């Protein structure tokens, strides 16, 4: 027996990501991901995030087209939702803000909450909203998550959050 390490599943994810990057997803649609596992969808999102980190934000038009094709905004999978919201925040897509706030105030896992608050705090559109939302909801978070997010937001805001940091 010779194991097959060809990575054909991850290649499909990467190929789709590069199609959106190179031509705005021309001829892409919901059927592109038919039969894909969550891991493949996350690899696709990773390709988009990597591009955004290296080359800059996606246009609002492209993000809306991606969402129309794959419905990431309404996904019930926390991993998919988290990566999608991270990409949208990085691209300063204001229409994602209500969804991000809903997620960070309903999912208490530091794995999702801390990076999303950090992303919001570092964005032009979300800094004040991140501070306000956290201040209104901080008691719902685990004490360690609360301490870490509070510290992150204070660093982002130069200590001007008005929050008492431990």
Cβ 25 vs Cβ 51: under 8 Å:
no
- What confidence score (pLDDT) does residue 165 get? 41
- What confidence score (pLDDT) does residue 62 get? 96
Tokens 């087209």 correspond to 65
Minimal CA–CA distance to 25: which of 46, 44, 43?
44
Average pLDDT of every residue of the chain: 91
Buried residues in 90-114 as b, exposed as e (16+ CB within 10 A): bbebeebbebbbebbeeeeebebbb
Sites in the chain below the pLDDT cut of 70: 1-6, 157, 159-166
pTM metric for this prediction: 0.89
């Amino acid at each position: 027996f010779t194991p097959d390490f060809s990575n054909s599943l991850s290649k499909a994810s990467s190929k789709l990501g590069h199609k959106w990057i190179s031509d705005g997803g021309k001829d892409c649609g919901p059927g592109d991901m038919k039969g894909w596992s969550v891991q493949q969808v996350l690899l696709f999102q990773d390709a988009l995030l990597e591009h955004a980190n290296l080359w800059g934000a996606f246009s609002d038009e492209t993000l809306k087209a991606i969402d129309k094709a794959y419905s990431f905004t309404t996904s019930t999978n926390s991993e998919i939702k988290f990566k999608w919201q991270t990409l949208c925040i990085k691209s300063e897509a204001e229409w994602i803000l209500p969804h991000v706030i809903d997620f960070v105030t309903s999912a208490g896992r530091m794995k999702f909450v801390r990076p999303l608050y950090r992303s919001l705090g570092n964005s032009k559109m979300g800094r004040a909203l991140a501070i306000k939302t956290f201040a209104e909801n901080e008691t719902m978070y685990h004490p360690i998550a609360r301490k870490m997010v509070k510290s992150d937001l204070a660093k982002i805001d130069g200590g001007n959050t008005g929050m008492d940091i431990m």
